[in-house]
Structure 1
Amino acid sequence: SDFSRYSSLGIGAELMYLNSVSDQFSIGGSLGYTTYIIDDLKILGQTIEGENISFLPINFKAMYLLQGSKFALGADLGYAVGVNDGNEGGLLYEPKLIFNNNTLLLSVGYQGITNNGDKINSVQVGAAFKF
């Protein structure tokens, strides 16, 4: 989206719980913290320092393990609570592809946060350790 003009990097962490409903399907939830690092803007020769945009995502999670494979399809749906002044947060959604082994989940997904027509879209790459 147009957000890429303002930020090229975001970092975050989350605590997640998944409960197996069957051998192939798990559901759960997560709570996290994400911040998008806003680039400085140059306007008419003046540099304006960007202020990072941060969220506390609260998500419902689902994961479906593809039969006979270590790959899974996942989806997150929830709300990203805005942390900064003027940041109202918004609805969060993220479809993803997951590699699942005994101790690690590796994922790549497309995350969107939307509120009143404003959108922050990003490609997410993640790693989760199983306990």
Structure 2
Amino acid sequence: MKHLILVFIFTLFGMGSYAQEGLKLGLHAGLPIDDFNDEISLMVGLDLGYMWALGEVVDLGISTGLIYGFKDSFQSDEIVSGLTDVQFVPLAASLRIWPSNSFSFGIDGGYGLGLNKGNEGGIYYRPIIGVLLGPMTEINLSYTGIQLENRTWNTVTLGFLHTFQFKDY
């Protein structure tokens, strides 16, 4: 078992230089599922974070942003009133694994602060799969979950992310 763990560690840190260190800025949009499906029609989000390369294929970082769910005004040909928009600010740690120079997978995890009235927020998690479109541009697919007191915020999103690197001159 020790040998297997050592092989895994050397594989992670011994692969080619694929890590994407730097400031990340992105946008994503998606659809709610489960508990908020009847209340929210569409959600959009802003992503902001910073990643540090721990090795050649592992990045660790911090992330925040804004998640905004637009209330659904129409349900089955009826106009619905009393629904509100839903907003969160996620505060999370981020982990990305780069098994190749153009593909990554990882997770963001932390707390989603609720911004709208009656929204206390909850535990935030977001598994992500990303594909590089260029050296600093990524398109990603993610699932977002925020465990609230009585319900769970669940969305499936498609996003665009750009990395800004700062070099010492």
Residue equivalent to 1:62: 95
CA distance in 2, matches of 1:47, 1:105: 38
Correspondence for 2:81 = 48
Cα distance, 1:108 vs structure 2:
0.3
Give the aligned residue type for 2:88.
Answer: F
Look up the match of 1:29: 62
Structure 1 runs (4+) deviating above 2 angstroms are none
Greater CA drift, 110-119 or 57-66 = 110-119
Q: Is the 8 A contact 2:70 2:86 kept in 1?
A: yes
- The TM-score normalised by the length of structure 2 is 0.70
Name the residue aligned to 2:9: none
Structure 1 equivalent of residue 117 of structure 2: 85
Which residue identity lines up with residue 19 of structure 1 in the other structure?
A: W
- 1:2-21 alignment, distance < 5 Å: 2-21=35-54
Q: Take 1:41 and 1:104, find their aligned partners in 2: how far apart are those partners? A: 36
Q: How many residues align?
A: 129
**Gap regions ≥5 residues in structure 2:** 1-33, 165-169
Q: 3-state SS of the aligned residue for 1:17? A: strand
- Residue in structure 1 matched with residue 130 of structure 2 by the alignment: 98
Describe the shift of the 1:46–1:70 C-alpha distance in structure 2 as closer, same or farther (beyond 3 A): closer
Please, what is the CA RMSD of the aligned residues? Answer: 1.9
CA distance in 1, matches of 2:81, 2:157: 27
Q: Could you state the TM-score of these two structures normalised by the residue count of structure 1?
A: 0.89
How far apart in 1 are the matches of 2:115 and 2:80?
25
Return the alpha-carbon distance in structure 2 between the equivalents of residues 16 and 85 of structure 1: 26
Residue ranges of structure 1 left out of the alignment (5+ in a row): none
Structure of higher CA gyration radius: 2
